[in-house]
Chain A
Amino acid sequence: MPKEQAEFEAGMQAHVERGEKGVKTSWDEVNLPMVRHWVQAMDDNNPVYTDAEFAAGTRHGGLVAPPTMLQAWTMKGVKDQAPGSSTTDPMADVFDALTEAGYPAVVATNCEQTYLRYVKPGEKLHHTYRLESISGEKKTGLGIGYFITQLMEYFTEDEEKVAEMRFTILRYKPAQREPKRPPRARPGMTRDTEFFWQGLHEDNKLLIQRCLSCGQLRHPPAPMCPHCQSLQHDTVEASGKATLYSHVTMHHPPLPAFEYPNTIALVELEEGTRLLAGLIDIDRDELEIGMPLQLEIVRCDDELSVPMFRRAS
């Protein structure tokens, strides 16, 4: 791990260990109008939230607020945090440091709520929050980043703890995603050439046409052998060993199916025939005519596989 990153991680861990807390209060006590709005929006018909008479006859002993509504009471709302909330966010410097270190993107991943008891209309809540843990650097589908868990503890006005919540977010470096590309153009085929494409796609084989009469290998395929005029032919599977014979690097026209610059090779197969092919993981500055290459058949989509080559090890 680079020194800078080690220092950055240590700084975040120190923050966790300091356990500095913030507080957020609520504008209003737990109240029936907000509850009613919530249960209607959620289509939650549980009568213990809105039917006082019913609720009184249950284990709840009276109206309660939906427990999953916990966060709503202390949310910031359209404008300002309720009075009494921390004016500076104790975690701001951690988030700033993450942005600066190249992890600007955020996504919530987990929410764990534990209810010590249901809260009732008339109770006024506030919650504390602090950084509970920061993971090491993780590779995720979205990109490399850190999982950050905050612990929120919810209290009534007389400091009775009623619930806690762990809320985990991923702060990440967005992975350089391949833009979604349309599929490559379908190859035109005739009865003379379809075996080549079928061999690649269905059998994962690079096939070379062979004259059954004189044994000459030929590519591109043709119905007749130019050497002996035989119409009889079969195929042999290429070993996959090849050398670079020539190459070009396409810049224009930019077709949406390809990434540019797009280097295309003319390779000479070990068997002696040549073939146009794509290249994998070879920088165009490293291209050297004659360099040894190894076949890799690449499945482009459900219909098409193409021959590509990488540097032979």
Chain B
Amino acid sequence: MSKQEFSNIYFDQVAVGDTLPQLEIEITPTLIVSTAIASRDYQDVHHDRVRAQELGSPDIFMNILTSNGLVGRYVTDWAGPEAILVSVNIRLGAPNYPGDTMVMSAEVTAKREEQGRYLVDLAVAGKNKLGVHVSGTVIVDLPNSAA
């Protein structure tokens, strides 16, 4: 993998109101199970369909740590490897069940220089066919090309 494949977004390239390209994530059982285990979350509802159904869900569903991780990934996929996540604040909604597709989108809502850092606020949402799975705000520290 060569370094040239990764480009970065610079602070002065970003304007409030810019939207990020959408990202579609297919919600497969493999995604739900592998991310739950990678986050060391062994709650049965994230890997055991029978148990999930006993507890009233139609199927296994994605854990919160993964939703959080996918929000972070979505932002750094766009911003590039120089970006530094400052905070990820999410609100949780409709579950992600297998067979669904989550479409992620985001918009730049603010940008500012703060204590030598160039910060951009993004309003992020991930929607599936049941509604909004996750929504929230990510603050990312971007390199400033002028610096």
Residues of A within 8 A of B (CB): 34, 37-38, 40-48, 51, 54-55, 57-60, 66-69, 71-72, 75-78, 107-115, 118
Contact = CB atoms under 8 A, between A and B. Distances in A.
15 contacts: A34-B38, A37-B37, A41-B31, A44-B76, A46-B73, A46-B77, A47-B1, A54-B81, A59-B143, A60-B81, A68-B71, A72-B39, A109-B91, A114-B86, A115-B86
A76 B41 CA distance: 8
B81 A58 contact: yes
| Interface size class, chain B | 35 or more
A57 B39 contact: no
Contact of A67 (B34, B64, B72): B72
A69 B37 CA distance: 12
A41 B34 CA distance: 5
A54 to B, nearest CB: 5
B81 A48 contact: yes
A55 B66 CA distance: 23
A71 B76 CA distance: 19
Contacts, number: 113
B69 A42 contact: yes
Given A41-B35, A75-B39, A113 B89 contact: yes
A249 to B, nearest CB: 31
Contact of B88 (A58, A60, A113): A113
A59 B82 contact: yes
Interface of B: 1, 3, 6, 31, 34-35, 37-42, 64-66, 68-73, 76-77, 81-82, 84-92, 143
B68 A108 contact: no
Contacts of B40: 72, 75-77
A44 B114 CA distance: 28
A55 B1 CA distance: 13
B121 to A, nearest CB: 13
A38 B92 contact: no
**Nearest 10 interchain pairs by C-beta:** A68-B72, A75-B40, A41-B34, A41-B38, A112-B89, A44-B73, A114-B87, A38-B38, A68-B69, A41-B35
Contacts of B89: 110-113
Contacts of B68: 68, 111, 113
Given A41-B37, A66-B73, 13 more contacts: A37-B38, A38-B69, A41-B66, A42-B66, A44-B73, A44-B76, A75-B39, A76-B42, A107-B92, A110-B90, A111-B64, A111-B68, A111-B90
B38 A72 contact: yes
Nearest to A45: B77
